[in-house]
Amino acid sequence: MGLFSKKPAICTVCKKETKHKHKAKKEWYVESPLCGDCYMDKMKESYDSNIKAKCVVCGKQSKITDLWEPRWQWDMKGLLCKTCFDNKEADFKTKKEFCVLCNKKMGFIRYNPKPEWKIKGQLCRVCWDEQKAKNS
């Protein structure tokens, strides 16, 4: 082994051993490292689909310039069409501004439910105290 020798890596797509590691682009949604063949395949797919892509929610195919990138808070990968983006945005806004259980408009202080309660959204103080008493 030389001073600058590279250790072989395993390609995440085809599971072959490769000496030269290729780093996948983030828009491919594939883990790195890639072998040369898989890297070229992903590059061709990216180039071919660069003109059109599908919405991850409804599957509608449209120009990539007409698709929207989801907000980081939504924890999604892929692109959304305008209608799906607007629906997701409205849903996110209501979950953020109103209590999920009683639909009361929330003030400055908001409460996040515990994971074992399996509630998505935020709670007001009264509903949080009720859930705590009920699940304790």
How high is the pLDDT of residue 48? 63
Give the helix/strand (H/E) hosting 128: helix 125-135
CA–CA dist 78, 129 (Å, integer): 37
Distance of alpha carbon 122 from alpha carbon 107, whole angstroms? 11
**0.95 exceeded by the pTM?**
no
Residue carrying structure tokens 């929330």: 106
Local structure of 80: helix, strand or coil: strand
Alpha carbon distance 49, 54 (integer Å): 9
Q: What is the pLDDT of residues 15-74, one digit of tens each?
A: 888 888 888 888 888 888 888 888 888 888 777 655 778 889 998 888 877 888 999 888
Q: Where are the alpha helices (DSSP H) in the chain?
A: 36-48, 82-97, 125-135
> What is the amino acid identity at position 64?
I
The per-residue pLDDT for range 59-94, each reduced to its tens digit, is 888 887 788 899 988 888 888 999 999 999 998 888
Angle of CA points 28, 32, 33, to nearest 5°: 130
Spell out the long-range contacts of 90-97 with Cβ–Cβ below 8 A and sequence spacing 24 or more.
Answer: 95/120, 95/121, 95/122, 96/121, 96/122
Per the prediction, the chain carries an average pLDDT of: 84
Task: Delimit the domains of the chain by residue range.
Answer: 1-50, 54-97, 98-136
